[in-house]
Amino acid sequence: MNKADGLSFTTPKFMEQETLIHYNTCPLCRSSRLERALDAIDYTVSHKTFQIWECGNCRLRFTQDVPDVASIGHYYRSEDYISHTETKEGLVNSLYHLVRKQTLSDKRRLILSATGQKQGKLLDIGAGTGAFAAHMQQNGWEVTGLEPDEAARQRAVDLNRIQLLPVENLYSLPADSYDAITLWHVLEHVHDLHAYLQQLAKLIKRGGRIFIAVPNYTSYDASVYQGAWAAYDVPRHLYHFSPTSISNLLGQHDLQLQVTQPMWYDSFYISMLSEKYKKGKNNTLKAVCTGLVSNFKAFVDKSKCSSLIYVISK
């Protein structure tokens, strides 16, 4: 076991090639006020149980004993992982594709409104198979798309006719270059959280906007499903954010939160997956009811929405 900067690195005996990260202090604020919040199962690939801990200082939740960046790749190798495979099998995935055209348009309108520009330079990080990057390109934006998974990059060419770059290119891009930077459900996957935020602040133009969408563990549907809440998605989701923890993170990098935008469809999609995880079968009616209640509570207080888009400036 090696220790550095509040981390412990352990290689389990049952899987010598996998190195785990154990946090002794919060990965966001470095506080030692840590408590175990709940356990969650990886329902997608390994079916292993992971602990989720919470920081009492900044309210970040994080997956404990998570595989490091060199070890986590095989946890993404599943035909059920829709952002990489484009699978349409099953009711949940079919509904995802049904509403995606609308969500792509909604995201584009948000970017136009927040930046005040009809066209510009966009950086899409964690582009998956390139659906959003291609949509923006087709609407006149100059797009750079980054994606860590090689197979997903090839699918982006085949499905959406867009060439994505490896995510390692993030740190070689020119400063002050982009009018908009988007991370749609990406930041929760990033091992080097602070380095990413620092680089985003470097790349965005003055007057540009960064759009970060992440699940919100303080939502109603998260409280209903607890460890079976699909948006925990351990161990692929390294961090689990709340509005408070996002504010703490932005403050550390001199970034300013401009507006918060609810993602209304997510409560239904996540609830449908969560019902399947919790009961082993679909219960569409109950999932829809949970999603409706969650959205009603978020309509009253949008900080309780199942997923939120944070619109950020420097």
The confidence score (pLDDT) of residue 186 equals 98
Q: Which of 169, 166, 171, 148 is nearest to 75 (CA)?
A: 148
Pick 33 or 78 by higher pLDDT. Answer: 33
pTM of the model: 0.90
The confidence score (pLDDT) of residue 99 equals 77
Chain center to CA of 129: 15
Would the pLDDT of 3 be above 60?
A: no
Tens digit of each residue's pLDDT (9 = 90 or more) over 95-126:
665 777 889 999 999 999 999 999 999 999 99
- DSSP-assigned letter for residue 31: -
The confidence score (pLDDT) of residue 166 equals 97
pLDDT band at 4, cuts 50/70/90? very low
Mean pLDDT of 15-21: 79
Separation of first and last alpha carbons in the chain: 39
Question: CATH assignment of 79-313?
Answer: 3.40.50.150
Per-position b or e across 105-125, b if 16+ CB within 10 A of its CB: ebbbebbbebbebeebbbbbb
Percent of the chain having pLDDT more than 90? 85
Mean pLDDT of 157-170: 96
Per domain, the residue ranges of the chain are: 79-313
The confidence score (pLDDT) of residue 58 equals 98
